[in-house]
Amino acid sequence: MPSAVVRKPLERITKYHRLNHGTLDVKIRDSGFTNAAVAEALGISEEYVRKLRKKDANIHIKLLSQIMELFDVSYQELTVVCTVESDNG
């Protein structure tokens, strides 16, 4: 993990957005990090981080493990503080 990134509370990640057909998306907003720090930590481009924040978009499940590692939490801990919704009822 890049030393420039300081761990922040999970509340900075809004919540799980939806659970549908086995696809889990994590909805994010401003995490308290700079775009550059988020990009470095997740191994994605700074431009992509900008687009995610601008559109209030979702990060696909493939980044979930990186988010968990970045914030040093387990899957169970993450689900406790996040709202999980199912599109299938």
Note whether residue 17 is domain-resident. yes
Note whether residue 43 is domain-resident. yes
Note whether residue 18 is domain-resident. yes
Note whether residue 15 is domain-resident. yes
The yes-or-no verdict on residue 19 having pLDDT over 50 is no
Domain count, the chain: 1
Instruction: Give every CB contact of residue 80 below 8 A, 6+ residues apart in sequence.
Output: none
What digits encode the pLDDT tens for the residues 24-43?
A: 344 444 445 566 766 776 66
Residue in 35, 15, 30 with CA at minimum distance from that of residue 82: 15
pTM of this prediction exceeds 0.95: no
- What CATH number is associated with residue 54? 1.10.260
Note whether residue 41 is domain-resident. yes
Note whether residue 65 is domain-resident. yes
Domain span holding position 43? 10-81
Grade residue 45 by pLDDT with cuts at 50, 70 and 90: confident
Percent of the chain exceeding pLDDT 70 equals 9
Note whether residue 3 is domain-resident. no
* C-alpha of 36 from chain center: 15
pLDDT recorded at residue 36: 74
Structure tokens at 82: 């996040």
